[in-house]
Structure formats: structure tokens, C-alpha cells
Amino acid sequence: MRHRNNKRATIRDVAKVAGVSPITASRAMQNSTKVRPATRQKVVDAARQLDYIPNLAAGTLATNASHLVAVILPNMSNSIFADTLQSISDSLRDSGYQLLVGYSDNSPELEESLVRTFLSRRADAIVLTGHVHSDQTNALLKSAAIPIVEMWSLNDEPLGACVGISNFDAAYSMTDYLFGKGHRKIGFIGGLLENNDRTQSRLDGYRAALMAHNLPIDESLIRDVPFEFEDGARAMRELLSNNNSLDAVFAASDILALGALLECNRRRLRVPGDIAVAGFDDERLAKLIKPSLTTIGVPRRAIGEKVAGVVLAALRGEAETQRVFDMGFSLVERESA
């Protein structure tokens, strides 16, 4: 039942109805152990009777703890990040933390403005993707005195902690694998290399593997495109028209690889007979498409769980034993390469 006036009940109202002091009512609602069960019951009943909804803004102001963990992702549409986000969310829920998510679009400026907002909202911790940030962002994060976690790539000198995989090693492995399958003219389709340390490292790994096998690095075999299916298809078209001896393509993302693969299908190129295609991420579609896609498996959920674990440990004030967590990758061999 609500009162006639539509102003929301406060903890003081609840306390009055329960016949206790506001602070006792507050403790009762927090499940503090310092309240007698009978008292708690009175308070809970009063709260229910008044349709009491606590005001977290007031709580945040008083305790300087928002119970918000901010997460910055590059974009909304890539399901890769969605899986990691989901597992962070799941792992934090039980501890009473909620996610505040922002999307940077790979723009350091947008990221900086997100960080500012998150600090304004007094987020208890901030999780970022990658380690490319503006100087201002770095300064803000350093002086924030809250746990900071960078994820998805590794970094010897993380701002706080970092949880990810070696994108360099993974790309190196895949390129090496393609070489092992006899391919000598291997194209690379990267996504938005600028301000993206993940694709940048993957490109570096690709180059390093080529060099290790004394293959020339042909810049005309390298395409930098946005992260959509269509872009993968377009990049494949361009690579095919420029290089008639191309025999393999390694895409820095399954989205791009799938686009490329579909383009091959459309042209009735046999994969991997005429051309091999390899991706990165192990998207759900990768094993369903025909031919199924050889790719790099990334422990997306494990990354999220570890991120949440690191954040929680830091928030509990536990001493850090480790700052860099390499979650490992796997080369998933399927039909396409």
C-alpha cells in the first residue's frame, strides 16, 4: 500500500513505522549482523508496508561506494565482447555489484569522456578493453585510486591488472599453421588497426611468422577494414583481384573471416582447395558455416570471470599477487584451412 502523497518513503519513514531509529532501520536493511532478528523483522515489515525503495544515490554519497563496476567495450555489436561482458556480470551479481557499460568505438577521446562520467558516478572499479588510452585517460585512471583492469590483450605494464591473451602469439601460431599447410601467399585482413592494440598485435604476429619463414611481407596482401561481414567480403574481393596467386587468408576476426568465406562461396572458390581461410575468436557461427572455419579460440567467459575475480579481490582489499593474467588461446582446426 502506498501513501496518498506520492513522495517516496525514506529510511526515516520506515524507522518511524518500525519504532526504531533511522540508523537501526538502515542496519536492518543492510542485513548487518548487529541487529536482533525481531528488530529486523519489524523494519522489513515497515519497509514492505511503505513500499520502501532505498536511494542508492544517498548511500553512494554517504559511503563513497557506488556498487557500480564500469566496463568500457569497443562496440556493442560484436558478440565476442558480449560473452565476456555476460560473464563479468554474472560473476559480480552475487557480490551486489552492477555493471555500467560504455562503448568507446575505438576512439580514445570517447573513452576519456566515458572514464570521466564513470568517475563522476563514483564507479568502484573500471574495466577497459585493451591498453590504448589517451594521456589524460591514463592520468585520470592513475589518480582515481580504484581498481583498474585492462582486458583482452596483455601488457607488461598495465595500469592496474590485465587479463587477456597474447594476440601476437595467437596470430603467429595461425600464420605458422597456414605455412605448415603449404600456403605461401597469405593475405591478412585486419579490423580497424588504429587505436586497437588487439588487431595491431595480430598483424605483428602475422608479420613475424612470415619473416620467420623467410617469406616476403607484401603490403598489398594486408587490408584494414571495419569489423562487419560486408567488410570481410569486400576485403576478400580486393585481395583476389590484386593477387591471383593468393592461397590463404587470415582474418583478425571471425566476422571478417565469415564475410571472406561467404565471398569465396559466392565465387564458387573451393575452400580450402583453392584458398584457405582462417579467422580469430571462434564465433558461434564458425563451426556451423560450410566449410567450418578454422580459427583461434579465445576463452571469452574465462576472461570475464577472471576480470571479475581480480576486481572483487581488489575491492575486498586483498593484496595483489599477480598483475598480468594470460588466459591462453587455442588453435581450432576445422575445414576451412
Partner DNA sequence: CTCAAAAATGGTACCGGTATCATTTTAATG
Partner DNA sequence: CATTAAAATGATACCGGTACCATTTTTGAG
Q: Which residues bind DNA (CB under 7 A)?
A: 7-8, 10-12, 19-24, 26-27, 29-30, 33-36, 38-39, 52, 54-55, 58-59, 61-64
- Minimum CB distance to DNA smaller for 11 or for 314: 11
The C-alpha atoms of residue 225 and residue 192 are separated, in whole angstroms, by: 6
Which region, judged by CB under 8 A, interacts with a copy of itself, from 146-154, 227-235, 242-250, 304-312? 227-235
Is the previous residue joined to 272 through a cis bond, with omega within 30 degrees of 0? yes
All three cell numbers of 5: 502523497
Given 12, 36, 270, 290, the residue binding a copy of itself (CB under 8 A)? 290
Shortest distance, position 62 Cβ to a copy of itself, whole Å? 9
Question: Smallest distance from the beta carbon of 144 to DNA, in angstroms?
Answer: 14
Among positive and negative, which fits the CA dihedral 112, 223, 218, 274? positive
Task: State the binding partner of 20 from DNA, a copy of itself, none, CB within 5 to 8 A by kind.
Answer: DNA
Which H, E and C letters describe 88-119, residue by residue?
HHHHHHCCCCEEEEEECCCCHHHHHHHHHHHH
Rounded Cα gap, residues 154 and 152, in angstroms: 7
Neighbours of 303 (CB within 10 A): 22
Rounded distance, CA 71 to CA 279, Å? 26
Residue with cell 548487518: 32
Q: Which does 85 bind (CB under 5 to 8 A by kind): a copy of itself, DNA, none?
A: a copy of itself
Minimal distance, residue 218 CB to a copy of itself, in Å = 27
| Residue 310 beta carbon to DNA: minimum distance, rounded to whole angstroms | 24
Does 204 participate in binding a copy of itself (rule CB under 8 A)? Answer: no
220: partner contacted, choices a copy of itself, DNA, none (Cβ within 5-8 A by kind): none
Residue 126: C-alpha distances to residues 21, 144, 186, 317 (Å): 36, 10, 39, 15
User: Which residues between 135 and 154 bind a copy of itself (CB under 8 A)?
Assistant: 143, 145
Helix (H) or strand (E) holding 295: strand 295-297
Q: Is 211 a residue that touches a copy of itself (CB under 8 A)?
A: no
Chain contacts with a copy of itself (rule: CB under 8 A): 2, 6, 51, 53-58, 60-61, 66, 76-77, 79, 82-83, 85-86, 89, 98-103, 116-117, 119-122, 143, 145, 228-230, 233, 258-259, 262, 265-266, 284-285, 288-290
